[in-house]
Amino acid sequence: MSELTLEQAQNLLLARTEKIEETEEILLWEGVGRTLAGDIFAQHDQPPFPRSPLDGYAARSRDIKGASKKRPVALMVIDEVDAGHVGSRKVEEGTAVRIMTGAPIPEGADCVIRQEDTDYGQEQVEIYEEAGPYENYCFAGEDYKAGSKILGKGTRLGAIELGTLASLGSERVRVFRRVRAAVLTTGDELALPGEELKPGKIYDSNLYTLVIRLTALGVEVVRKGRTGDSPEEAAAWIREAVREADMILTTGGVSVGKKDIMHDALKRLVCERIFWKIAIKPGMPTLCAQAEGKLLICLSGNPFGAAANLELLVRPVLAKMTGRKELELTRLPAVAESEFPKRSGVTRYVRAFYEDGRVKIPEGSNASGILSSMCGCNCLMEIPAGTQALKKGDKVWIVLL
Nearer to ligand AMP, 165 or 248 (CB): 248
Number of residues that bind ligand AMP (CB under 6 A): 19
Return the residues of window 316-375 that contact ligand AMP according to CB under 6 A.
Answer: 369
Length of the chain: 401
Among 187, 218, 283, 316, binds ligand AMP (CB under 6 A): 187
Nearest distance in Å: CB 245, ligand AMP = 18
Among 190, 297, 352, 379, binds ligand AMP (CB under 6 A): 190
Picked from Mg ion, ligand AMP, none, the partner binding residue 55 (CB below 5 to 8 A depending on kind) is none
Q: What is 53-106 written as a DSSP string?
A: SSSEEEE-GGGGTT--SSS-EEEEEEEEE-TT--------TTEEEEE-TTPBPP
Nearest distance in Å: CB 253, Mg ion = 5
Q: What is the CA radius of gyration of the chain?
A: 32
Separation CA 109–CA 97 (nearest Å): 9
Closest CA to 334 of 385, 388, 382, 375: 382
Among 141, 187, 218, 282, binds Mg ion (CB under 5 A): 187
Among 204, 246, 311, 382, binds ligand AMP (CB under 6 A): 204
Return the residues of window 211-270 that contact ligand AMP according to CB under 6 A.
Answer: 251-255
* DSSP count for the chain of H helices, then E strands: 7, 23
Query: Contact between 303 and ligand AMP (CB under 6 A)?
Result: yes
Nearer to ligand AMP, 152 or 369 (CB): 369
Nearest distance in Å: CB 151, ligand AMP = 41
Which conformational region is residue 292 in: left (phi greater than 0), alpha (psi within -120 to 50 degrees), or beta? left
Among 301, 311, 344, 383, binds ligand AMP (CB under 6 A): 301
The DSSP code for 374 is G
**Which residues 6+ apart lie within 8 Å of 350 measured at CB?**
340, 361, 366, 380, 381, 383
Q: Which residues bind Mg ion (CB under 5 A)?
A: 187, 252-253, 301
Q: Which residues bind ligand AMP (CB under 6 A)?
A: 185, 187, 189-190, 202, 204-207, 251-255, 300-303, 369
